[in-house]
Structure formats: C-alpha cells, structure tokens
C-alpha cells in the first residue's frame, strides 16, 4: 500500500538555533511531509474520520513546534516524527525540514528523516 497524504510548505515560527543569539528570536521553519496511509476505509465511507486528516496533523505540528524551544533542526525533525508516530498509525513517513534563512548563500538548508517501512 503506497497511498500517501502530504503537507507541503507548512510554515512554523519557532525558537530554533544552536547559538545563544538565536534564543531570543523566532525563525521560520518549513516542513514538507509525506505519510503513507491506507485510503480504503475513507474512500468506501467518504468519512473524514477514516482519513489521516491533514488539517489536524498540521495543527498538531504547529502547536508543538511553535511552543517548544529547540537548538538543532535534527531535534525538531526527530521529535515531530515521534509525535506523529505516537499519535497516528502511520506506517511510513518522511519529513523534510527547511530552515530558509540559515545560510545566506543557499536557498534553503535542513534535514530529512524517514520512519517506518514503505
Ligand atoms: N546540521 C545542522 N547544522 C547547523 C544547525 C543545525 O541545527 N543543524 N544550526 C545552525 C545554527 O543554528 C544556524 O542555523 C544559525 O544561523 C548551524 N548549523
């Protein structure tokens, strides 16, 4: 089963940074997320309660990331992956996390984590 729900360019304003000066400001983090989910029950019933609800998932991520201080983008990605796996029965997920202004000469930098079996 390779059905996927995705969320592209989910933007959070977070306390994120390895350095002291970053701890007094909020910076933009952008998530691209893919999650494998079996659509069969949702399609048969046309009932959103059988979906992996992208609105609910997005809000859960924003509530967490915007209210927790982090130093490393790696930590954000690991904790968001844990949050999603502990909340939903997601068989496989991929999180691409961008910190857009971190390197002036780069469009974006960040990390990618994957969890589960595709
Ligand atoms: N692999 C990483 N490298 C760097 C990180 C990080 O979280 N992961 N963070 C920083 C600083 O916070 C930087 O973004 C400040 O401009 C540097 N490298």
ipTM above threshold 0.95: yes
Catalytic residue among 4, 60, 99, 101: 99
Question: Ligand 1, residues 14, 15, 17, 18: which to mutate, most atoms within 8 A of Cβ?
Answer: 18
Return all residues near 28 (Cβ < 8 A) that are at least 6 apart: 11, 12, 13, 14, 99, 100, 101
Segments making up each domain of the chain, as ranges: 4-25+39-102
C-alpha distances in angstroms, 38 versus 4, 14, 63? 8, 32, 26
**pLDDT value for 118:** 75
d(CA 98, CA 95): 10
pLDDT tens, residue by residue, 22-50: 999 999 999 999 999 999 999 999 999 99
Instruction: At 45, list the tokens.
Output: 């019933």
What is the pTM assigned to this prediction?
Answer: 0.97
State which fold the 4-25+39-102 domain adopts.
Answer: GTP Cyclohydrolase I, domain 2 (3.30.1130)
| Residue pair 13/66 in contact by the 8 Å Cβ criterion | yes
| Averaged pLDDT for residues 17-25 | 98
pLDDT tens, residue by residue, 67-106: 999 999 999 999 999 999 999 999 999 999 999 999 999 9
Mean pLDDT, all residues of the chain:
97
Residue that is written with structure tokens 């701890």 in the block? 23
pLDDT confidence bin for 20, thresholds 50/70/90 = very high
């Amino acid at each position: 089963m390779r059905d996927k729900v995705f969320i592209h360019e989910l933007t959070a304003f977070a306390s994120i940074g390895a350095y002291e000066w970053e701890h007094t400001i909020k910076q933009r983090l952008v998530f691209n997320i893919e999650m494998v989910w079996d659509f069969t029950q949702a399609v048969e019933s046309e009932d959103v309660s059988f979906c992996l609800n992208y609105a609910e998932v997005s809000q859960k991520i924003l509530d967490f990331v915007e209210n927790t201080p982090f130093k490393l983008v790696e930590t954000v990605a690991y904790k968001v992956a844990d949050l999603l796996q502990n909340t939903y029965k997601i068989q496989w997920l991929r999180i691409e996390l961008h910190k857009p202004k971190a390197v002036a000469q780069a469009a974006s930098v960040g990390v990618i984590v994957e969890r589960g079996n595709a």
